[in-house]
Structure 1
């Protein structure tokens, strides 16, 4: 196996980076200020564009470029099949949610994702250094356009089978998402997300043994120890999400940022209660109640996301962690309340000291 530092240096040379650290493209928590700060410190910034309109994607890219000459990735979810609607279940969910927030309108479950084709066109027009995927693989027609523009494609995977499929489809690098990661699980099959929740340091060496493209480790990495361990286990780079959320550039709510700093690994949980897709959040009263046997099952994504929208908005306005969708990974407590430039400098210095 190539020595870890040499592998990381080759990755940086290939993708124009100063350090092998990517900012996770966290939809709803990746302002251009955060991405630009990561890029200015030598890493790769990121936009999670799930919730971004085509104009929003263009505006974000322009705002990033006004702050940095570095690179960034734009990430899109691969769409799920249309959800199967269950009016009785949705009615039970509305009744359950009424006790946690404002009344839920009957039409709340009609919420639909943005048009994927329009988003893809906007991403290509923005011309990022990297386009990444999660929840599956881009269709060949989109991949052809990505490759024709000389844009690299990074595919997020959560299992060996997904990694093999991504490499076969032509991924330039593979983001290996461990079960420790905050936010939504990237499982290609949404129904298997919890059952296939493999820890990063079990999954990473298996993929390193089987795949030939560079691997980017993500999930539970927030300091130099995690970076060094990931590189030793076969990664060429790491991707950090929760570890950046306490920085001022992340601009998340004070309540969420404070809670991240107090959250032990066992204080997070996987839940479908907020969106209908499995995601790791700081456990609060609502997510715990939704996990009880007498609570209604979550509706599928994006129906559940629409149903919980009134509660989530009220919780955000009140800074109420018991009801807030507060995504966080299991290493949340390691996140530092410092500017991104300091975080980047410190964690890479820690990692390189351990890898000498």
Structure 2
């Protein structure tokens, strides 16, 4: 790691990971990350340019690997029909499935043309020639893994982000399966037994003591997402920020209800009612629910939108990002 502090701000797609947040973390001595997921290549490039204006410190950009799911169109259509009453209540129509590769090739070409210091990959490991191309340009390649088997597949990466069961948002697993996720501290030991690559620990970390604990287990840094969600620099929507401190929400759970891929969020009405019926179809379900989630957030309805959060969500405060990096450093 080139950062002065062992704190990596998790790339949180969908809005939270702004240039302001990434730059504030990097300026404070951590490693800030932009999330290219769901962004167009043009928007990704604009985010990178904005971050460079705000910091001269290293930062990273995270990319979603293209989905390998082979969805059942009938199951997706049935789920879309199920959500029709939700959509009508919100005054919108359910979305329709769109492109499944998140403009991966265009983003890789763009990043290689003007690479950031770090590039991360979620939902799989890029091809060896892509990894080498970034490494040849001096970029450090990080791959998110959720099992020891995935760690073996990512042997060409410079570093691994080890994502435990406690993490908020999407599981970074290579396959869209329903396997029980492994707790972070157990996973660190399992991955550490099969690789000598530097490991970044992720999942439910929210205090300096948490960070010290994973460093003692051999991690070189702690990746933290949920704790940054309520920072003023975060682009999380106000409904999401407020829900993290709302006593009505008392737990988190992993669900496919919003995107078709397992992701951990606060247990709300939508998650409870629709989780049993959501097919394993990503990003198809993401497209279907997108208009509903946006409308619910715009209408101030926390029970109708995704409220991604890790198990330590109660620790999230409105602390500025730079101060939070200081608080998190052992």
| TM-score when normalising by structure 1 | 0.87
Partner residue, 2:11: 25
Partner residue, 1:335: 316
Superimposed CA distance per residue, residues 278-316 of structure 1 (whole angstroms, 9 cap, x where no aligned partner): 100111101100134xxx333511111111122111111
Answer yes or no: is 1:218 the counterpart of 2:202. Answer: yes
Distance in 2, Cα, partners of 1:82 & 1:125: 29
Distance in 2, Cα, partners of 1:219 & 1:264: 23
Superimposed CA distance per residue, residues 111-148 of structure 1 (whole angstroms, 9 cap, x where no aligned partner): 54432110111122342111111111111221121122
Distance in 1, Cα, partners of 2:324 & 2:149: 34
Q: Count residues in correspondence.
A: 327
Distance in 2, Cα, partners of 1:129 & 1:110: 31
Partner residue, 1:7: none
Partner residue, 2:235: 251
Partner residue, 1:10: none
Alignment of 1:161-180 (within 5 A): 161-167=149-155, 170-180=156-166
Answer yes or no: is 1:99 the counterpart of 2:121. Answer: no
Q: Which range is displaced more, 131-140 or 257-266?
A: 257-266
Whether the 8 Å CA contact 2:66–2:102 is kept in 1: the answer is no
Q: CA deviation at 1:265?
A: 9.8
Partner residue, 1:3: none
Superimposed CA distance per residue, residues 14-45 of structure 1 (whole angstroms, 9 cap, x where no aligned partner): x3211011110111220100000000000111
Partner residue, 2:281: 300
Partner of 2:61: helix, strand, or coil? Answer: strand
Root-mean-square deviation (Å) = 1.9
Partner residue, 1:119: 107
Equivalent residue for 2:40, pick from 53, 65, 82: 53
Partner residue, 2:52: 65
Partner residue, 1:133: 121
Partner of 2:154: helix, strand, or coil? Answer: helix
Whether the 8 Å CA contact 1:246–1:335 is kept in 2: the answer is yes
Answer yes or no: is 1:188 the counterpart of 2:174. Answer: yes
Q: CA deviation at 1:210?
A: 3.0
Q: CA deviation at 1:54?
A: 1.6
Note the residue ranges of structure 2 that are not aligned, 5 or more in a row. Answer: none
Answer yes or no: is 1:233 the counterpart of 2:214. Answer: no
Answer yes or no: is 1:34 the counterpart of 2:21. Answer: yes
Partner residue, 2:300: 319
Partner of 2:121: helix, strand, or coil? Answer: strand
Note the residue ranges of structure 1 that are not aligned, 5 or more in a row. Answer: 1-14, 352-356
Distance in 2, Cα, partners of 1:263 & 1:188: 34
Q: Which has the higher helix share?
A: 1
Distance in 2, Cα, partners of 1:90 & 1:232: 45
Whether the 8 Å CA contact 1:265–1:330 is kept in 2: the answer is no
Whether the 8 Å CA contact 1:182–1:327 is kept in 2: the answer is yes
Which protein shows a greater Rg?
A: 1
Taking a change above 3 Å as real, the CA distance of residues 107 and 307 of structure 1, as seen in their structure-2 partners, is closer
Q: CA deviation at 1:107?
A: 6.7
Answer yes or no: is 1:199 the counterpart of 2:183. Answer: yes
Q: CA deviation at 1:82?
A: 5.5
